[in-house]
Amino acid sequence: MSTDTNRRVEQPPLAEPTTWHEIDLTVNGRPVSAQVESRLLLADFLRGRLGLTGTHLGCEHGVCGACTVLIDDVPVRSCIILAVQAAGCAVRTVESLAEHGDPLSPVQRAFHEQHGMQCGFCTPGFVMTCTAMIERTQRPDQDVVADELSGHLCRCTGYRNIRAAAEQALDERFGTREAQ
Ligand code: FES
Ligand code: FES
């Protein structure tokens, strides 16, 4: 048995030096300037630094979709992108859809009316992906809708009502499929 009780345990070296960056971006339409570490994830920046906790973190591996936000109108998983990569971009989170006291956005209302949520943990991600869909110039076909929703996991509701909510929001934006 070793008697070397004073053995010093060295810290393992960092894989890369920590560097700080000045970034400017817009978040929910407001200009934001911040100093961020190289490794700071966008999700942690939004939640921890800006207090926008509507963006949820589930898997933190880019699998569940709960952390989805829009960057320049494109759905992106904020758990696998660095805050510094959003510099110069327009980021939108679920908080941008209806400020306190505002009516729900069409997608939020559709989720409410179609019972597209239970615990709501996955909901912000679904809502942001659906928001990007209704902002397109043309209605995505059903296969595209199914494909985009398939990138999100829900552990409680099941997907039928979520799909119905997406279709309701698309119907309201583009007209019903039958009428097209
Ligand atoms: S928390 Fe980002 S994809 Fe799951
Ligand atoms: S509503 Fe609970 S995880 Fe989707």
pLDDT of residue 2: 45
26 and 75 together in one domain: yes
88 and 138 together in one domain: no
Pocket of ligand 1 (CB under 6 A): 57-60, 62-67, 77, 79
Give the Å distance between the CA of 158 and the centre of ligand 2. Answer: 8
Does residue 153 form part of some domain? yes
Nearest to 27 by CA among 67, 83, 80, 66: 83
**Ligand 1 atom at minimal distance to the Cα of residue 64:** 4
Positive or negative, the CA dihedral 99, 121, 91, 145 is: negative
Q: How many domains does the chain have?
A: 2
pLDDT tens track of the chain, all 180 residues? 444 556 666 665 655 667 899 999 999 999 999 999 999 999 999 999 999 999 999 999 999 999 999 999 999 999 999 999 999 999 999 999 998 888 999 999 999 999 999 999 999 999 999 999 999 999 999 999 999 999 999 999 889 999 999 999 999 999 987 776
pLDDT of residue 1: 44
139 and 84 together in one domain: no
Indicate which CATH number applies to the domain containing 149. Answer: 1.10.150.120
39 and 62 together in one domain: yes
28 and 92 together in one domain: yes
Identify the domain containing residue 56 by its residue range. 20-96
Q: Which residues contact 92 (CB under 8 A, 6 or more apart)?
A: 27, 28, 29, 69, 70, 71, 73, 128, 131
- Name the closest-CA residue to atom 3, ligand 1: 62
Does residue 49 form part of some domain? yes
Does residue 25 form part of some domain? yes
CA–CA distance, 161 with 110 (Å, rounded to integer): 10
pLDDT of residue 109: 97
Does residue 57 form part of some domain? yes
**Ligand 2 atom at minimal distance to the Cα of residue 126:** 4
Ligand closest to 60 (CA) is 1
pLDDT of residue 157: 82
- Residue found by looking up tokens 């961020």 in the block: 36
